[in-house]
Structure 1
Amino acid sequence: MIAPRRLNILYVSHMPASPPRFGAQARINGLMTQLSRRHDLTAVTLADAEFDADECRASMQAYCRDVVLIPNPNGKDGMSKRLLQLRSLASTQSFERQQVTVPAMQQALDRVLQSKRFDIVNLEFSFLGRCNFRQAPPGEKLPAVVVDSHNIDYELIRQYARSGSSLLRRFYAGVNWRKLRREELATYGGADGVYLCSTDDEDRLHQQVPGIRTTVIPNAADVDFYQPRPSDPPSDGKTIVFFGHMSYVPNIDGVIHFVRDIWPRIAEACPDAKFKIIGSNPHPSVKELAGPRIELTGFVPDLRPHLASSAALVVPLRLGGGTRLKIVEGMALGKAIVSTTLGAEGIKAEPGRDLLIADEPQAFADAVIQLLKNPDQASAIGHAARQLAVEKYSWGGAAESLEKFYHQILEARA
């Protein structure tokens, strides 16, 4: 085994990691922040129009030696995105790959990789997998390439093809997921290693790419930041919370499903109950859900007071993969959680002790009603959840496991 040593790591992503405002950012930010304590990090990332480049650069420079942000001319919502999606139908490449195909990105990678030797190139997601990462200064060894698979993304798009909200969306996803599958599996197969969020995704990947070197690095939480504080408001006993990036399709589908199919049952049994939806960039279909007892906050700078004052956190997801940061962050804050089986996939929690699991609308509503009417039970579940988060789902522990994986890959190459 190679003795632990300080590594030069290049992080490559199609989005900046910081400041973290949704799940994918939180994962990258959490791991990079912890790894930077023992290793030297450089980042080369694209930045869509929604990001403030100066803010992102300043935030990432807190743990990176160098940060290179490249504006993504394809990273715009509205009509320009729709036109790119339309053009992608006639292309052999997926929409996701076309969206991140930016010549300036490869030029920046060439410049960085040829000027400094890196031990590891850590690629976030597979979308940029077409880029050339196998470069080094003259006479130096080429870096190992490791991919962080936040989801098996083509499987996520295939779910949309089966259960999209409209015939047009299902048709588009049905065309796109096959292209993405070819690209994604090629990226994984060409890498020296892949780390995934859950054993379920790891098993799925091994079925498609036998013999690939993998490990599981679960999503985690900053358990020091996300913890109950004396200064936070106490639970009001009546507010149910969902939080997440509200332009993300699984979150959109989840809250619409909750409001239409589950919430009426809760509202009838608990007349004082309220539902709060927290998250940036809410889709128009989500905005339509707001009402007298349903609050839509948009982005909030600090989740902790909102979660502390709530009676329970709900995760009514029907689409998606990986593991949900909203669950581990809610657990770290000591909140009782009701989730679908899919929502809690990959979380090693005991139903009934660490959280409640329900899939059918009536069963989900009954679980929420149970917590609203039994605050002592909600408190006990929240306490157990906090203990589990501290023991198994801290970013410090996740980063140590990733560091071991890096060294295993470097040893195998040596």
Structure 2
Amino acid sequence: MVNNSSLRTLFITKEVPYPPIGGVSLRNWQNINIMMKYGPVAIFSASNWTPKETYLPGVELWHHSNVEIQRSGWENLERRLWWLHPRRHPDADWSYSSTAARELDELIAKFKPDLVVFVEVWLYPYLRIVQRHKCRIIFDNLNVEASLFQQKYASVQDIKSKIKVKIQLDHLKSIERDLSQKADDIWVCSDNDANLIKELYGQVAPTHLVPNGINVAHYDGVHSGKLSPPSGLEDKSRNLLFLGQMSYLPNTVAAELLINKIYPKLREIYPDCRLLLVGRNPTPLMLDAAKKDAQIIVTGSVPDVRPYLAAASVMVVPLIQGGGTRLKILEAFAAGCPVVSTAKGAEGLNAKDGEHLLIKDSIEELVAGVCQIWSDPALGEKLAGCGYELVQEEYSWEAVAGRVEEAVKVPLPSVSNGRFSRIKSSVN
């Protein structure tokens, strides 16, 4: 067992984890904060842009590489020829450069981490760098990406496109399998994902359930009613909310279902209802819908989603594809907002239909579910109350810290007056 006073953790990610906006950064910031309780944390991030942030609260060391400006002409050529190498993939190459690899090597030598956490399979090209050092490697697999890829492109019909998709899928499986086998441990968001990894790749590293969680206290202002909605949205009685990065394909499909199918049917019943699509990178279809209908609000990126949670009377999650678990549902639970979701949207969460949320799968059922909540305030209050209890008990940072204890086998920090504090652990 590693002594918790000396445990040093390095996260490797393509997302800057702060401020935590969106599913990946919310999970990263959760795990970063939990690991800070065991010792110093460093972060190496690599992407094709330079963040405005220069400081991450509580993080001892942070290095960001803008690979877009680092790559040589030869490296850019190699990226276009990814298909010639069985363990190259365009999405994995996106966050890699040889310069960034050298910078990572130097950071590891300087920070001397005990644990290195690869956040998502897309950081696979840096594996060989980490393997040079004596570090325990954790693969935090937010989604089983090969399965997600298959869901996205199952309907491709064009022969040329089908060939390209098949090559990409084979390469993706190759790198996801290799990282799953060479890591010392794998963290997954749900038991469904753990089973899927074993089904796809057979014998892999030990798998540990580290659920997506949230800092429940962060939403206290919404839950208590003290936080005000944005100007113009104060009347929340018929406000329908969907959160997420809108360019992410599962969210794009869900948002377009809301615009084209669900919202129009609700407008026929409740002419005063509004649709709030809150999240970065809205598509042209979404922006055009907002121009044509003043009761469709498309925000783009916002600094804080809580005012929009305060404005919502129902969160609707009409996802029909995707993986992992939905932080948007946990945010709604913490905010005291009732949820109507498809089974796919609620997948991986220990949430029961009729107790914590309503699970509806067809367009007609989703519309009926929203109408149930709007016509029966007592039902909405019951769902919101049970959802809040569930997120506190199983998906708060404090609850997830217990899962991390099991995964890394170090003494568990507990909570005293809402803050982490050291306690003795029974883990041996």
d(CA) in 1 for partners of 2:158 and 2:251?
A: 16
Residues 85, 256 of structure 1: CA spacing in aligned structure 2 closer, same or farther, 3 A cutoff?
farther
How far residue 48 of structure 1 moved from its aligned partner, in angstroms, is: 2.9
When structure 1 is superposed on structure 2, of 304-313 and 351-360 the one drifting more is 304-313
The alignment's TM-score, normalised by the length of structure 2, stands at 0.85
How far residue 116 of structure 1 moved from its aligned partner, in angstroms, is: 4.0
Residues 176, 33 of structure 1: CA spacing in aligned structure 2 closer, same or farther, 3 A cutoff?
same
Structure 2 residue 356 is the aligned partner of structure 1 residue 392: no
Alignment-mate amino acid for residue 33 of structure 1: N
d(CA) in 1 for partners of 2:278 and 2:309?
A: 10
Aligned to 2:415: none
Q: Which segments of 5 or more consecutive residues in structure 2 lack a partner in the other structure?
A: 72-76, 229-233, 411-427
d(CA) in 1 for partners of 2:25 and 2:155?
A: 26
How far residue 2 of structure 1 moved from its aligned partner, in angstroms, is: 5.6
Contact persistence 1:235–1:308 (CA under 8 A) = no
How far residue 407 of structure 1 moved from its aligned partner, in angstroms, is: 2.6
RMSD: 2.6
Q: 342, 345, 351: which is aligned to 2:347? A: 345
Aligned to 1:304: 306
Deviations 1:240-274 (A, max 9, x none): 00011112111111111222222222121222211
Aligned to 1:411: none
Aligned to 1:376: 378
Q: 177, 180, 184: which is aligned to 2:172? A: 180
Contact persistence 2:48–2:94 (CA under 8 A) = no
When structure 1 is superposed on structure 2, of 398-407 and 13-22 the one drifting more is 398-407
Aligned to 2:328: 326
**1:3-14 to 2 correspondences below 5 Å:** 4-14=4-14
Aligned to 2:424: none
Contact persistence 1:158–1:174 (CA under 8 A) = no
d(CA) in 1 for partners of 2:158 and 2:366?
A: 25
Deviations 1:113-148 (A, max 9, x none): 223432111110112223221234xxxxx1110010
Structure 2 residue 359 is the aligned partner of structure 1 residue 366: no
Q: Tell me the percent identity.
A: 24
Contact persistence 1:8–1:117 (CA under 8 A) = yes
d(CA) in 2 for partners of 1:85 and 1:363?
A: 45
Secondary structure at the aligned position of 2:242 is classed as strand
Aligned to 2:267: 267
Q: Which segments of 5 or more consecutive residues in structure 1 lack a partner in the other structure?
A: 77-82, 137-141, 409-413
When structure 1 is superposed on structure 2, of 125-134 and 177-186 the one drifting more is 125-134
Alignment-mate amino acid for residue 246 of structure 1: M
Contact persistence 1:235–1:311 (CA under 8 A) = no
Residues 20, 163 of structure 1: CA spacing in aligned structure 2 closer, same or farther, 3 A cutoff?
farther
Structure 2 residue 188 is the aligned partner of structure 1 residue 205: no
Secondary structure at the aligned position of 1:379 is classed as helix
**1:2-401 to 2 correspondences below 5 Å:** 4-49=4-49, 52-55=50-53, 57-58=54-55, 60=56, 62-73=57-68, 88=82, 92=86, 93-131=88-126, 132-136=129-133, 142-163=134-155, 172-207=164-199, 208-227=201-220, 228-233=223-228, 236-290=236-290, 291-401=293-403
Residues 335, 202 of structure 1: CA spacing in aligned structure 2 closer, same or farther, 3 A cutoff?
same
Alignment-mate amino acid for residue 257 of structure 2: H
Aligned to 1:80: none
Alignment-mate amino acid for residue 399 of structure 2: G
When structure 1 is superposed on structure 2, of 318-327 and 162-171 the one drifting more is 162-171
d(CA) in 1 for partners of 2:70 and 2:289?
A: 27
d(CA) in 1 for partners of 2:372 and 2:246?
A: 27
Residues 166, 19 of structure 1: CA spacing in aligned structure 2 closer, same or farther, 3 A cutoff?
farther
d(CA) in 2 for partners of 1:199 and 1:299?
A: 32
How far residue 54 of structure 1 moved from its aligned partner, in angstroms, is: 3.8
How far residue 183 of structure 1 moved from its aligned partner, in angstroms, is: 0.8
The alignment's TM-score, normalised by the length of structure 1, stands at 0.88
Contact persistence 2:67–2:97 (CA under 8 A) = yes
Contact persistence 1:96–1:180 (CA under 8 A) = no
Residues 116, 25 of structure 1: CA spacing in aligned structure 2 closer, same or farther, 3 A cutoff?
closer
Contact persistence 1:47–1:75 (CA under 8 A) = no
d(CA) in 2 for partners of 1:171 and 1:74?
A: 31
Contact persistence 1:113–1:135 (CA under 8 A) = no
Contact persistence 1:74–1:100 (CA under 8 A) = no
When structure 1 is superposed on structure 2, of 300-309 and 3-12 the one drifting more is 3-12
How far residue 336 of structure 1 moved from its aligned partner, in angstroms, is: 0.3
Aligned to 2:231: none
d(CA) in 2 for partners of 1:364 and 1:218?
A: 26
Contact persistence 1:206–1:212 (CA under 8 A) = no
Secondary structure at the aligned position of 1:352 is classed as coil
